[in-house]
Amino acid sequence: MLKITNTFNYVKHLIRTRPGIIITNVCNLSCGGCYAQCGKFPKDKLWFIPLDQLRANIRYIEKYMYRGETTLLNGEKVNVNAENHGIDLIGGEPTIHPEWENIWKIITQEFANLKFMISTNGRIPPRDAPNVYYHLDYKTKEVASQHDFAPTLVAPIDIVENKNPLYYWESAQTDCSIWKLLSCVNPIYKNQISICSVASSWNDLLDLDLGWPLNPNKNPFANLTDKNIKDKAAKVCYRCGWSKRLRLPEEQRSESYNLVSPTNLEVLTKNAKDKPYKLVSKEEGKIKISGIKNCQELIQLTFRGKII
């Protein structure tokens, strides 16, 4: 008989949280600190979910992630989606999917018995349906709603005096509002599941192997242990400003989306070459912010092996 010697607290957390589906990585905005890395994907990685795949993902969530309970490897039973959240459709910007009209019919007619939440930047006016509600992304507001949010591209490993990547996963348990709340999203993306939507976008952008295939006939996290989750998280949390509440200078506010740090320079692709950025670095214990005209200049600096 297999003896289980690992813990399952992280696993149980993921099973209890909000299910979601990333339906595109394309957006009609390109905010510098976007958790989904919108505007950073090369053209050959831009993606829209096919309708049949969307239907299959919704059916999978309905059966294994929406309600009921699932059994862990140690035999413990855990309630699924503990707070009865709706299925979150996220991006990118969901409403610019070229099949959005058909997607709307799918969620409001074919799956009218399920609840859905659309995470949108609000540029396309929302419409009403009995089973649909919205999360308007705060980046669209003129006044910041989270004063100390660190944009995703500021890697905490560049700022905090700790070079152990796993440290940032551990700090995420208390500092990352995405992870610590049961309202965080564990999205299906290209038929894989990951620990959060940030990890999904990094996975696709940099091929970091952060996801797991969907389990046939059970909740996608049911065969995992905490070690499985920690091993994946160690590859991404040190890159993400959510994992550590950074205390940066005055211009580092939640309305600032043009800040990047050296570890994340490689995400600045040619598709964002005209985007202005400021480089955040730490020298002799002091934080330095250097103005850069655009990310192409950052890339050139990186190729020369120097960071200003």
Question: Where in the chain are the domains?
Answer: 9-142+181-242
Buried/exposed code over 173-207 (b: 16+ C-beta within 10 A; e: otherwise): eebbebbeeeebbbbbbeebbbbbbbbbbbbbbbe
Q: What angle do CA 248, 252, 258 make, to 5 degrees?
A: 130
State the pLDDT confidence band at 281, using cuts at 50, 70 and 90: confident
- pLDDT the model gives residue 150: 56
Q: Which CATH class is domain 9-142+181-242?
A: alpha beta
pLDDT (tens digit, 9 = 90+) per residue, 191-224? 999 999 889 999 988 888 999 999 889 999 999 9
In this prediction the pTM is 0.89
- pLDDT the model gives residue 3: 46
State the pLDDT confidence band at 302, using cuts at 50, 70 and 90: low
The torsion of the CA quartet 9, 14, 18, 21, rounded to 10 degrees, works out to 170
